[in-house]
A = this chain, B = another copy of it.
């Protein structure tokens, strides 16, 4: 029984493994502090394409292909793909992953989409609906600026509270089995011959997903799309508090608590908001957006953002730390700012949302 551990949380009864993952990033991300950890760094940010949107599609296609290769799997081994991006009508996804012909659940949770895709992917595994799924998200600096802000050609100045959308895509292969040779000969869906490829050996898993907390929309009424860290911090605080209550846990139960892209402004607000609720996360908190760039030398202001930011940081950095046993248990919580060009121009606020996953070493 996949017991709901509380009002908004899931503790899967069947284990969910992160079999493998891959990250593809742009040049700026490759030059940043985590640059050497990514699987592929593009030579330029067009990735051989004619438009920024096609370049972002290529990021998703390559990340999924590499994650499958690293897991020793083929597209026929995958039951479902949970995917999304930041563009209107999720265009990077529609044109990026159609080549794989895997049944698709298209998702939109702004920069929290990486968390949303992993939660739904893990649910499909833990519920017995699939044995292997792929979760993928992407963002691209240039396509995002065009979609949400100003044409890059304007050369608009950016305030210090603004974040820099990460050019990158992270893909994850989740499975019900830790891999290696243990699934040889197993008939995974109970029907003779229904999935010929289910007997292909996969390599050993990288980590486990042991808990999930699904976020609500939280709107403090902020309207500044150049300060998305502040817009998202209340949602991060809400999901984190819910998580601590649902799992009866404390900040010190985790080696690290990662948010997706709050940046330096949002981080301070999150720590303050949780302090008011009786939780001190200042020791454990890290933010993917702060880690991925060197703000001073790379001129990225508050930090990186985008639903590629948390995805490539999880794939390249966090999972590696777990594999090397530097950390044993991490809370990973991508954060999203729910705005569009239209909502911004119509004077609406920027609500936030955040979804959290507990990711642990294999045992």
A residues sitting closer than 8 Å to B (CB atoms) are 1-8, 10, 13, 51, 53-54, 79-80, 84, 86-91, 94-95, 97-98, 101-110, 113, 116, 119-120, 123-124, 126-130, 147, 189-191, 194-195, 214-217, 219, 338-343, 346, 348, 351, 353
Q: Residue on B with the closest CB to A90?
A: B108
Q: Check if B103 sits within 8 Å of A214, measured CB to CB.
A: yes
Is there an interface contact between A217 and B129, defined as CB atoms closer than 8 Å? no
Bound complex: CA of A110 vs CA of B128, how far in Å? 27
A215 to B108, CA, bound (A): 18
The 10 closest A-B pairs by CB, nearest first: A127-B127, A88-B88, A103-B214, A89-B340, A98-B217, A94-B338, A8-B103, A2-B128, A108-B108, A4-B189
The answer to whether A53 and B7 have CB atoms under 8 Å apart is no
Q: Give A190 to B84 CA distance when docked, in angstroms.
A: 34
Q: Are B107 and A214 in contact (CB under 8 A)?
A: no
On whether the beta carbons of B3 and A128 are closer than 8 Å, the reply is yes
Q: How far is the CA of A1 from the CA of B95 in the complex (A)?
A: 34
**Contacts A53-B342, A105-B116, A108-B108; A128 near B1 (Cβ below 8 A):** yes
> How near does chain B come to A22, taking the closest CB pair, in angstroms?
21
Tell me which of B88, B95, B124 contacts A89 (CB under 8 A).
B88
Q: How far is the CB of A201 from chain B (nearest CB, A)?
A: 20
Taking a contact as CB atoms under 8 Å apart, the answer to whether B342 and A88 are in contact is yes
Q: A106-B107, A128-B1, A194-B7 are in contact. Are A351 and B98 (CB under 8 A)?
A: yes
Report the separation of the CA atoms of residues A200 and B8 in the bound assembly, to the nearest whole angstrom.
Answer: 19
The complex places the Cα of A93 from the Cα of B121 at a distance, in Å, of 22
Q: List 6 A-B contacts (CB under 8 A).
A: A88-B89, A88-B342, A89-B108, A105-B214, A106-B108, A108-B108
CA gap between A190 and B183 in the complex, in Å? 32
Question: Across the two chains, which residue of chain B brings its CB closest to A246?
Answer: B194
Q: Which residues of B contact A109 (CB under 8 A)?
A: 104-106
The CA of A80 and the CA of B109, in the complex, are separated in Å by 14
- Shortest distance between the CB of A1 and any CB in chain B (Å): 5
Chain B residue numbers with a CB within 8 Å of A194 are 4, 6-7
Question: Which residues in B have their C-beta under 8 angstroms from that of A119?
Answer: 105
Minimum CB distance partner of A215 in chain B: B103
